[in-house]
């Protein structure tokens, strides 16, 4: 016969679950607002009385998961929560989340799909999937690729502050891998600026003379770019026009993967403007 739970104990348990649910609702609402939220607005959005919201937020503040800005009294997410999320998004977890998105991208387009992250001044391919086309780029997971002549690398470089890009250009040799590799810092600077403006980066046979690629950035729960997702195919199948048309499909994949990484920001609609 199962143990009987005293009514008052059961009520406390139910109340505890309810409090946890409310606390997470508060965390999620604060996380969606980068400028923070005041108590009155926060209470309204989560549907709680201001005194109830205040006691829950005060507990979250004492634990460090929420912090209050001194000048505006608004609440923002605290650093311990970022640490927890960052711990969940390690390379293995990223690969696990990226692979299904890449598989769908390859099925839709018939081309190879890749997800890469920054590794020093290079990019590392964490996950890849092969397409159904007759010719596929051979690239193993874990491979390091130069940032200056790959679409994946340019997409990540375009997310960096301008001064970081300048330091990159100062210390990195712009090695030529094909006749189309950009080895002039001024030209590369313009291309990175264009990728930053449009949200899309291209590789027109710059790393492999027989391959064209398109890539777009992927963001995490903080809104920061943590990597890039790309599509590649042979130049005879992926003309520049076809590559630009594929950008919209890759944008959808980048948005889905960003969602998997916890990004709650607005969708990037610049692909349409770039086509």
Q: Report DSSP letters for 40-67, one per residue.
A: HHHHHHHT--HHHHHHHHHHHHHHTSEE
Residue 1 is assigned to a structural domain of this protein: no
Other C-beta atoms closer than 10 Å to the C-beta of 133 total 15
DSSP lists the bridge partners of residue 204 as: 212
Tokens of 3: 């143990």
Q: Do 177 and 203 touch, CB atoms closer than 8 A?
A: no
Q: Mark which of 59, 85, 111 sits at the end of a domain.
A: 85
Residue 66 is assigned to a structural domain of this protein: yes
* Count of domains for the chain: 2
The 10s digit of each residue's pLDDT in 74-104 is 898 887 777 676 666 677 788 888 999 999 9
Looking up residue 73, the CATH number of its domain turns out to be 1.10.10.10
User: Are 27 and 66 contained in the same domain?
Assistant: yes
Give the whole-angstrom CA distance, residue 244 versus residue 15. Answer: 54
Looking up residue 184, the CATH number of its domain turns out to be 3.30.450.40
- Structural domain boundaries, residue 65: 7-85
E-strand spans in the chain?
Answer: 66-68, 75-77, 112-119, 122-129, 144-146, 201-204, 211-219, 225-234
User: Are 43 and 115 contained in the same domain?
Assistant: no
Q: Mark which of 48, 68, 85 sits at the end of a domain.
A: 85
The 10s digit of each residue's pLDDT in 34-61 is 778 899 989 999 899 888 989 999 999 8
Residue 235 is assigned to a structural domain of this protein: yes
pLDDT recorded at residue 6: 46
């Amino acid at each position: 016969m199962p143990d009987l739970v005293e009514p008052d104990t059961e009520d406390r348990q139910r109340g505890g679950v309810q409090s946890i649910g409310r606390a997470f609702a508060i965390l999620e609402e604060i996380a969606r607002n980068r400028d923070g939220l005041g108590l009155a607005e926060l209470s309204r959005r989560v549907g709680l009385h201001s005194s109830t919201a205040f006691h829950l937020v005060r507990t979250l503040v004492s634990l460090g998961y929420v912090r209050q800005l001194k000048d505006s009294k608004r609440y923002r997410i605290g650093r311990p929560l970022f640490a927890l999320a960052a711990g969940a998004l390690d390379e293995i977890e990223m690969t696990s989340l990226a692979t299904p998105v890449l598989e769908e991208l390859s099925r839709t387009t018939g081309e190879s799909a890749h997800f890469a992250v920054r590794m020093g001044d290079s990019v590392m391919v964490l996950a890849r999937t092969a397409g159904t086309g007759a010719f596929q780029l051979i690239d193993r997971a874990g491979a390091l690729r130069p940032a200056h002549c790959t679409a994946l690398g340019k997409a990540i470089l375009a997310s960096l502050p301008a001064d970081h890009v300048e330091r990159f250009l100062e210390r990195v040799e712009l090695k030529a891998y094909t006749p189309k590799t950009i080895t002039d810092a001024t030209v590369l600077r313009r291309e990175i600026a264009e990728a930053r403006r449009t949200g899309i980066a291209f590789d027109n046979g710059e790393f492999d003379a027989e391959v064209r690629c398109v890539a777009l950035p992927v963001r995490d729960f903080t809104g920061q770019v943590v990597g890039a997702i790309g599509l590649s195919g042979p130049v005879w199948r992926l003309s520049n026009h076809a590559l630009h048309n594929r950008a919209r499909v890759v944008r959808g994949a980048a948005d889905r993967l960003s969602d998997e990484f916890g990004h709650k920001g607005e969708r990037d609609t610049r692909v349409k403007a770039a086509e």
